[in-house]
Copies of this chain bind each other. A is one copy, B any other.
Amino acid sequence: MNIEVISARKRYRLQAEAGSGLMDCLIKAGVMDATECAGRGICGKCAVKVHSGELAPTGEGPAEAQTNGRVLACRSLIKESVVIEIPCGKDDIKRKVCLPGLQQQERFEDTPVEKHFIQMSAPSLRDQLSDLERILAQVGKNKKAPRSLLKDLPDLLRRSDFAVTATLIGDDLIDIEAGDTHTQSYGFIVDVGTTTIAIYLVDLHTGAVLDADGKANPQRTFGSDVLSRISVASAENGNREKIQAVTLEAVSDSMRHLLKRHGVAERNVYNVIVVGNTTMSHLFLGVDPKNLAVAPFIPCYRNRVSMKGGDLGLPMHPEGTLHVLPNISGYVGSDTLGVAMATKPWEQKGYSLAVDIGTNGEIILGYKGWMLACSAAAGPAFEGAHIHNGMRAGKGAIETVCFENNGIKLGVIGEAAPQGLCGSGLIDAVAELLRAGLLDARGRLADETSEATGRPLGDRLRVSNGMREFVLVLAGEQGSEQDIVITQKDIRELQLAKAAIAAGIAVLMQEVKINASQIDRLYLAGAFGNYLDRENAVALGMFPGIPAEKIIPIGNAAAEGAGLCLLSAGQLKMADRIAAFVKPVELSARADFNEQFVREIGFPPVEGKSAS
C-alpha cells in the first residue's frame, strides 16, 4: 500500500503492508516520534488527518481523536493506500525544540585538552631517539601514548617532515596529526533531560558555544517519568540495554548532525561532559537504576564516571574523554550540580535560590558556606505533557497569552497557526484567567452559566464531556484547525506542578530557618524558565514571597555548568568537590513537605499585572 504523509515541511511517500499498524509504520519511517503514552491511545499526540483513503481501527479502543475528525495513528491499521497529514513531522520537531543559547564561555588557562604544533629535527645516526621520544621531548617526557597512536606514527612523521600537532589530555598524548591543526579542537555538552535531550557543540580552542541541537528523549516511549522508566528498565532482561541504546543513538545523531553542519571531524572531538538527573545518568551509562525507586533509594554510584571516548561508541576521538558529572544524591543529579556550577551561590552575596524547572523541579538554596538541594516532582505539565492541548515548545505552540479587552492575544512559535499550548503559554493563560475572575483562588473555573455571565471572555467557558473548559482558540480563529482549550484538569495539573516547586523552596528555607524576604535572588534555569513570564509565575504563586524583580532567567544552567567543566580541568575538579559539598534534602520522607504542598495548591490573591 502507498502511504503519503504530509507534514508541515515535507511530503513523504512510504510503503506498508495491509494490516500493519499506522503508527509503527510512521515511527519506522522516521516521520513521527514515539509518543508519550507509547501508543496506548491515551495522549492523543499521534492524531492524524486522513485526506484520502480509509484506515481500519485496531479495535483496542476508540480510534477517533478528540479534534476535528482526526484519528489516532496508534489505534489505526492500514487497509488501503491513504494520504494523511501529521500534525508535526519528526524533522520539524527536531528543529523546533527551543534551546536557550548558552552564554559565551570564557577560555580557561587550564583547558583539559591541549594541542601543540611541534617542529622537530629528523633523526640521524647521531640522534637515534625513537619517534615517540622525539615528540615527548617537545611535549613532556612523562606523557603516555596509547598503542593506537604508535601504529602508523613512523610514516606519519616522515610524511609530514616531522612537523605535527600533538593532542594532550592530562598526562596522555592521545593523537598526532600531520601539520598544524592546533585550532581544531571541539567538545560537546550533553544534557540528558527526562523529556528533552540538549546537545551543544563547543569550540575548545576559543571557548565558544558554536551550535546546539535539541530533541525529545527517545526514552519516553518507555514511560514519561523517571519512576516508570526505572520500572521498565528493571522489568525485563535487555530493557536496560535497549533504553541505553536508544539514548546513545539519539545523542550520536545530534552530535553527527552538528559536526556535519560545522564541518568538524569526529577525530577532533576530544571531550564530552554529560549531565542529567540521577536516573538519566544511570540509564545513559547502562547502570541498573532499580534501587533508586525503592526504599532506601540507593543509587549505584554517585561520583563522576569518566571513560575513553571510544567506550560508548559516540562520534568522537576514541582516546578522548567523556565525563558523566557526579550526582548529588539519588534524587538530585548532575544536572543540578551543573546549575550550582553555573550560578556559584558561594561566590554571591547573601542567599541565592536556583530553580531548574523540568519534569522535576530541582531547587538549590545556597549561601557562602553551605548549599542545600532538593528535587520536587513537578510532573510534565510545564513541558506541555499531560495537558489536553499541550505540546512541547516547538513550531505552532502558543507560548504567550494575553487577555485584551474582549480578545485574546497569542504568541505562537514559528509564526504558524496555533496547534497547542506549551508550558509558558499555559502559565500565561491560567494567570490571565485568574485576573479575569474566570478562575478562583482554589483553582475552580467559573460556572459558564452563572458566574461568568457578563465578564469579558466569559462566553468562552463551556462544559465538554462533563468537564469545564475555557476555549482559548476556536477552530477557525487565527488559522487553527481545532479548538484549543484549557480544561479544569489542565488547571489541576498546573496547580500540582507549581505547588511542588513552591513547597520545595519552602522546605529548603525552613531547613536553614530563613524566610522568603531574605532571598536575594532566584535564578530561573532551563528552557522553560527562560521563556516563562516571571510576573505570571509569581501571580500563580510558584515562588511565594519572592517578587518578580528578584527572578533572573539564566537559560540552560545545567549545560552552562557542564560547559565550565568541559573547558577547565579546575572547574571539573571543583564540580567533584561541590557534589560532595551540597547537602541533598529528601522531600518525600518529610511531613513538612506534604503540609507545604497542600498549602501551596491554591492561587494567591489577584494583583494587577504591572506593565513590564
- The chain A residues found within 8 Å of chain B, CB to CB, are 123-125, 127-133, 144-147, 150-155, 285-288, 290-291, 295-303, 305-307, 311, 327, 329-330, 589
Contact = CB atoms under 8 A, between A and B. Distances in A.
A132 B303 contact: yes
Contact of A155 (B144, B288, B327): B288
B296 A128 contact: yes
A132 B300 contact: yes
A127 B298 CA distance: 9
Given A150-B285, A154-B291, 4 more contacts: A125-B296, A130-B298, A132-B302, A155-B288
A288 B124 contact: no
Nearest to A302: B130
A151 B301 contact: no
Given A153-B287, A302-B133, A147 B307 contact: yes
Instruction: Please name the 7 residue pairs, one residue from A and one from B, whose CB atoms are nearest each other, closest first.
Output: A132-B301, A130-B302, A130-B299, A125-B296, A150-B287, A154-B288, A123-B298
A129 B299 CA distance: 8
A336 to B, nearest CB: 16
A285 B147 CA distance: 7
Contacts of A290: 154-155
A298 B132 contact: no
Contacts of A287: 147, 150-151, 153-154
Nearest to A284: B147
Nearest to A322: B147
A330 to B, nearest CB: 7
B130 A288 contact: no
Contact of A301 (B127, B130, B299): B130
Nearest to A295: B125
A171 B509 CA distance: 40
A42 to B, nearest CB: 31
Given A288-B152, A306-B144, A300 B124 contact: no
A296 B152 contact: no
A330 B154 CA distance: 13
16 contacts: A123-B298, A125-B296, A125-B589, A130-B299, A130-B300, A131-B291, A144-B306, A145-B301, A145-B305, A146-B307, A147-B287, A150-B300, A150-B305, A153-B301, A154-B291, A154-B300
A145 B291 CA distance: 19
Contacts of A305: 145, 147, 150
Contact of A297 (B128, B145, B150, B300): B128
B154 A298 contact: yes
A329 B286 CA distance: 45
A295 B302 CA distance: 55
A301 B150 contact: yes
B147 A299 contact: no
B330 A288 contact: no
Contacts of A299: 130-131
B123 A296 contact: yes
Nearest to A141: B303
Contacts of A286: 147, 151
Nearest to A127: B296
Contact of A128 (B123, B128, B144, B330): B330
A47 to B, nearest CB: 39
A323 to B, nearest CB: 11
A194 to B, nearest CB: 20
A144 B326 CA distance: 13
A153 B296 contact: no
Contacts of A130: 298-303, 327, 330
A128 B285 CA distance: 21
A125 B144 CA distance: 44
A287 B148 CA distance: 9
Nearest to A287: B150
Contacts of A330: 128, 130
Contacts of A146: 307
Given A125-B589, A287-B153, A298 B131 contact: yes
Given A154-B291, A286-B151, A311-B147, A300 B131 contact: yes
